[in-house]
Chains A and B, each alone.
Chain A
Amino acid sequence: MIQKVLVANRGEIARRVFATCRALGIATVAVHSDADADAPFVRDADAAVRLPGNAPGETYLRGDLVIAAAQASGADAIHPGYGFLSENADFAAAVRDAGLVWIGPDPEAIEAMGSKVRSKELMAAAGGPVAGMLEPEAMTTSDLPLVVKASSGGGGRGMRVVRDLDALPAAMEQAAAEAGSAFGDTTVFVEHYLEHARHIEVQVMADSHGTCWVLGDRDCSLQRRHQKVVEEAPAPGLSDATRTALHDAARSLVKQVGYTGAGTVEFLVEERDEHGQSVEERDEQSALISFLEMNTRLQVEHPVTEAVTGLDLVALQIAVAEGRALQEVAGMSEPPAPRGHAIEVRLYAEDAADDFSPQTGTVRSFDLPGSVARFTGPSAYGLRLDSGVEAGSEVGIHYDAMLAKVIAYGPDRASAIRTLRGALGRTRLHGVTTNLDLLHGILGAPEFAAGKLSTLLLEERIDDWSAPRADASAIADYATAAALAAAVAAAESAPVLSRIPAGFRNVASQPHTASYVVRGEEVSVAYASVVGRLTPQAADSDDDAVVPVASVVTADRVVLERDGVARAYAVARDGASIDVDGPAGPLDLTVVPRFTDPADQVVAGSLLAPMPGSVISVGVEQGQAVSQGDVVVVLEAMKMQHTITAPTDGVVTELAVSAGSQVESGAVLAVIEGTDEGETA
């Protein structure tokens, strides 16, 4: 039996695998890059091995280092998680060659499924639904739209949608070039493009004794840029016939390949009418199913399957790797039928309003209030959180922007939606811009509630769904709460008069004001101390907006009343950051300082005269490249010569003086813009 598992991965999936290992009594080893040295998953493990550097190519993709780490730490098995080395057949083989247990399918299965062309052939051989690979030359306008795909592609790379026949050759060239540089394989093929299709996948688990369990299906249609955002199990609204067809195809493929371990067989499913046109109504007779690919690993979205089946898929993966039989380990002869409904959302550090650009920063707080299971379960209807980050975690540029997954499990889909939306509504997350509001918006959308899903839906509705929960008026209330709490906190922490009412004025000449930057915009609020009570005021005397009534004001909690309804705001401060959690979710505010030191306003890289004097000589010209230590200016002051040298390598972008110039103390002599040091690192 396996005694010690090294997880060749990071973030939430490493923590997830460790959790099951701990439950089974298996010791754990983490590997980590330099950037991840203090990450929660490293602390979760019993032992950790550093992989020097940060780029995945230097660290988590270095199979040789990972195997060496396993040997150094005494691990007897490696779990690859998802991504990184999880679908690398050579790595799987190397693990086995090193005498370690590979918790995953055989390298041959990985290799076969790694090629879309090859896997389609195998699926066809197994009798499954495979969209025909088309002859590009034979296409007519009636075949449109078409899609060009790379055989080794994934995540949308090497893929092109074609709506105009003339564009097909160019699309194929581009896709081939992209696939060549991304995957080292220029093979591309052409298929009919299923525009209104849903992404539906089937979870399988097979042991080495010939048992293959189909553990239900999942709908993962809501995607942005071909990345899944919302996943649920079971896939809603599937006819029995379609579901059976999907499950049968998946089982057949597993048998065909002789697959073992956990895997996912992915399909596109589109309902069509008798004319071949897609329809919104589900028509079990005409569902068009098209096999996409098989993922030979644990999926990100496996928790929804765990919720509805009650199984621990990682525990089963380990058992299968140990050569045990599924029935024996699970204590049942047949796989459990899915019960209830589970939905998962992926919390990404990204700005939905800025084309999903990845965001970085330090997580100042992350809290999902209420009873929440972590990494396994939930054992009853409720919530589960699989998070790679916690308060204090750095979200950097090196890795995937997914912070956490939140899973809700309920007796039915509507209950699960309500539970999950409620949890997201209460989530406190500060320090990094995330898609929390988007997720909340999706779960509140009528189309989503109705189950009208397609892979294009999210991108079509993104503008509506990603609208921030806090509008301008709500932001003003958040800022008011922040200002009132800050005043009390400042008063209470003062060395004198700490219990005098905050901001007291016996003669009030003007309201107190505070300004914050929220989502890049400056917001100003005003308040007064009226007979010892902090009272919100209109920020602008011309502004006729009604201000709320503050009924409770403490350093960390403010209650504002509007129209007789009281709403609480929790306020936390960290330097210039003020984190407020209120009725519209978490909001990060940055204090606009009252004063700016003029010294801070000097252009970075400016060389300043240390004292008044005259310039004897200038050693550089504008635009000249200089090295650290090069003489820039020689200054004579107080009969002494002062040599001003370049502090770093760079280029002289500004030269403000010439020989003979008289300069004042603090005057800018020159500006040297440093060359980017990052490139040499």
Chain B
Amino acid sequence: MTTTAADAAPTTGDGPPSDRTVPTNREAMLEKIADLAEQHAKALAGGGQRYIDRHHARGKLLARERIELLLDEGAPFLELSTLAAWGTDFPVGGSIVTGIGVVEGVECMIIANDPTVKGGSSNPLTVKKGLRAAQIAAENRLPTINLVESGGADLPTQKDIFIPGGATFRNITRSSAARVPTVALVFGNSTAGGAYVPGMSDYVVMVKEGAKVFLGGPPLVKMATGEESDDESLGGAEMHARTSGLADYLAVDEYDAIRLGRQIVRRLNWRKQGPSAAASYAEPAFDVDELLDLVPSDLKVPFDPREVIARIVDGAPEGGSGFDEFKPLYGSSLVTGFASVHGFPIGILANAQGVLFSEEAQKATQFIQLANQTDTPLLFLHNTTGYMVGAEYEQGGIIKHGAQMINAVSNSTVPHISVVIGASYGAGHYGMSGRAYDPRFMFSWPNAKSAVMGPAQLAGVISIVARGAAEAKGQPYDEDGDKQMRAFIEKQIEEQSLAYFTSGLLYDDGVIDPRDTRTVLGICLSAIATAPVEGARGYGVFRL
């Protein structure tokens, strides 16, 4: 890169400034960001104002109020899977809040039930979101703090909860066995299966006259044994603190529980096991705000990922973009190179022209091996329409080469982070370390789309296949019906490939404002550095 910070125009390339700053890009992106805020507001609204007011009237704090109190002053909180259940029949947010926050200087996974949504009861998306948070905690060795107040399983949907939900409790004790502490702050109901959240945790705090932790409540006990009992004697905080010993700390109120939670974390003697960030580094050479100008409102128009990278990675010490491009003259439809983000070294793979050819696949394979050789985490910036099709490419071995890339991604052991900044179609999604390839973190920009292929292409393919079938049977083809069918499919695929939709199914960890990308990556890389970072070993790097 030859550009310096002195360049006024938001460009990092050697060419003349193009029309990248056309205001419509910015307006379109700001509109999408505003819409994202509206979608997030659905999750923030929890069970609605009535239930929020009722909860407050009981002197209780909301899930996010508890989290805000728990976090260190000035510390960030990266909320995850906020749009869980978007596009499903369940309330957006999944009646649970998860995220990475700093408590007493320790990066923790924080999991809080939202008691305003059906009493905090778990639906299938709650379970899925909770398990994803547990996976992130386990992979990155993050201590977990559970802020518990849940009415248990949402019984009508128990079939999708009961069996998979068991992993929730297994994960807590596996974390403990891995010497990653777990803390449960119990504010309210934590009954039946839910009782095993405090039950399995290393440290348990219960709020006086708030926590109710029992396997069976008074009615169930009456049914089972005929014994007359009450909530407090079966599972009150005082009982557990003084009699059963399930509670290690008795909190006088919710604030006190959070204070005790912080006190517990303060004494964990926590040490991160991964690499340290550089002590000093430069902010990006270009204004992060200009990311809004870069992305064309039409996904079919490619854009230069170097422009994005220059606004995400640390600036070069001597000024200019801190991105050192690898193999810039080969396989130019995929940009590869090294940089650092908030002082953490990182290798980057970013789609430049959408399509992946054999050269791009081989370049990616070599680059992923290089990153593994040096224990360097990888960042994938998705904007791909997939691997190239056509006789020439098939004969040139595109499958073999694509397979090499997917092989390298699959067996790479350095942490991956994926950000979908545009399209993520077809096997390109796989090769770029899509959800199924277990990136440590995966986020989408609001303009992102993920699907097997573009909606128009998919509808067109179905149309061609249907027309072929009709011709084979010698039947006339219904052109009007075809038109309607194509419009319908296009609309359906369009909706289902939207970032909200994929995020709703937990296929990413959240939809983010592009301007927050650098910060989000910084938080993720620091979380990743809580566990050791080690690349795959075996053969030397294959020159492909």
Contacts and interface: CB of A to CB of B under 8 A. Distances in A.
B519 A507 contact: no
Contacts of B105: 494-496
Contacts of B262: 595
A532 interface: yes
10 closest residue pairs by CB, A with B: A490-B74, A504-B76, A491-B74, A595-B259, A509-B64, A487-B74, A490-B73, A495-B105, A507-B79, A502-B74
Contacts of B82: 507
B77 A504 contact: yes
Contacts of A489: 74
A221 to B, nearest CB: 50
Interface in A508-526: 509-510, 512
Given A491-B74, A491-B75, A507-B79, A497 B107 contact: yes
A500 B72 CA distance: 13
B40 interface: yes
19 contacts: A486-B73, A490-B72, A490-B73, A490-B74, A494-B74, A495-B105, A496-B107, A497-B76, A497-B526, A503-B74, A504-B77, A504-B516, A506-B512, A507-B43, A507-B44, A510-B65, A512-B68, A531-B516, A596-B255
A488 interface: yes
Query: B interface, how many residues as a size bin?
Result: 35 or more
A597 interface: yes
Contacts of B515: 531-532
Contacts of A487: 73-74
B334 interface: no
Interface of B: 40, 43-44, 64-65, 68-69, 72-79, 82, 102, 105-107, 242, 252, 255-256, 258-259, 262, 272, 281, 288-289, 342-343, 510, 512-513, 515-516, 519-520, 522-523, 526
A504 B73 contact: no
Contact of A488 (B74, B77, B272): B74
A320 B516 CA distance: 76
A595 B74 contact: no
Residue with the highest number of chain B CB atoms closer than 10 Å, among A486, A490, A503, A507: A507
A594 interface: yes
A529 B71 CA distance: 15
B64 A532 contact: no
A113 B82 CA distance: 85
Contact of B516 (A495, A509, A532): A532
A487 B44 CA distance: 24
A501 B72 contact: no
Residue with the highest number of chain A CB atoms closer than 10 Å, among B68, B82, B256, B515: B68
Given A496-B105, A506-B512, A490 B75 contact: yes
B522 A497 contact: yes
Contacts of A529: 76
Residue with the highest number of chain A CB atoms closer than 10 Å, among B69, B102, B289: B102
A304 B44 CA distance: 65
A664 B288 CA distance: 59
Contact of A506 (B73, B75, B343, B516): B516
Residue with the highest number of chain A CB atoms closer than 10 Å, among B74, B242, B343: B74
A488 B74 CA distance: 6
Contact of B76 (A503, A509, A594): A503
Contact of B102 (A494, A499, A505): A494
A598 interface: yes
Contacts of A664: 242
Nearest to A666: B250
Given A495-B105, A496-B107, A532-B519, A598 B76 contact: no
Interface string A463-503: 00000000000000000000000111111001111011111
A510 B107 CA distance: 21
Interface string A332-356: 0000000000000000000000000
A512 B65 CA distance: 10
A472 B64 CA distance: 30
A503 B102 CA distance: 10
B523 A500 contact: yes
Given A500-B523, A510-B64, A531-B516, A598 B74 contact: no
Contacts of B75: 490-491, 494, 497, 503
Given A494-B105, A496-B105, A531 B513 contact: yes
Contacts of A532: 288, 515-516, 519
Contacts of A496: 102, 105-107, 272, 526
Contacts of B40: 507
A529 B106 CA distance: 21
Nearest to B79: A507
Contacts of B65: 510
A599 to B, nearest CB: 10
Contact of B519 (A494, A501, A596): A501
Nearest to A491: B74
Contacts of B107: 496-497
Contacts of B72: 490, 494
A595 B258 contact: yes
B77 A505 contact: yes
B345 to A, nearest CB: 16
Nearest to B522: A500
A499 B288 CA distance: 15
Nearest to B280: A499
Given A500-B522, A594-B69, A505 B74 contact: no
A510 B526 CA distance: 25
A105 to B, nearest CB: 61
Given A486-B74, A500-B522, A501-B76, 8 more contacts: A490-B72, A497-B75, A504-B77, A504-B519, A505-B79, A506-B78, A612-B242, A664-B242
Contacts of B343: 499
A578 to B, nearest CB: 12
Residue with the highest number of chain B CB atoms closer than 10 Å, among A486, A488, A503: A503
B342 A500 contact: yes
A612 B255 CA distance: 25
B44 A595 contact: no
Contacts of A502: 74
Given A500-B342, A505-B79, A506-B516, A597 B74 contact: no
Nearest to B342: A499
B321 to A, nearest CB: 19
Contacts of A594: 69, 255, 259
A555 to B, nearest CB: 10
A568 B337 CA distance: 43
Contacts of B69: 594
A512 B74 CA distance: 9
B283 to A, nearest CB: 9
B542 to A, nearest CB: 37
B192 to A, nearest CB: 29
A488 B523 CA distance: 16
A595 B76 contact: no
Interface string A520-547: 0000000001011000000000000000
Contacts of B76: 491, 497, 500-501, 503-505, 529
Contacts of B106: 496
Contacts of B68: 509-510, 512
A497 B102 contact: yes
A497 B516 contact: no
Nearest to B529: A496
Contacts of B510: 506-507
Nearest to A503: B74
Contacts of A488: 74
Nearest to B64: A509
Nearest to B518: A532
A486 B72 CA distance: 12
Interface string A585-613: 00000000011111000000000000010
Interface string A106-143: 00000000000000000000000000000000000000
A163 B512 CA distance: 79
A612 B243 CA distance: 12
B313 to A, nearest CB: 14
A598 B522 CA distance: 37
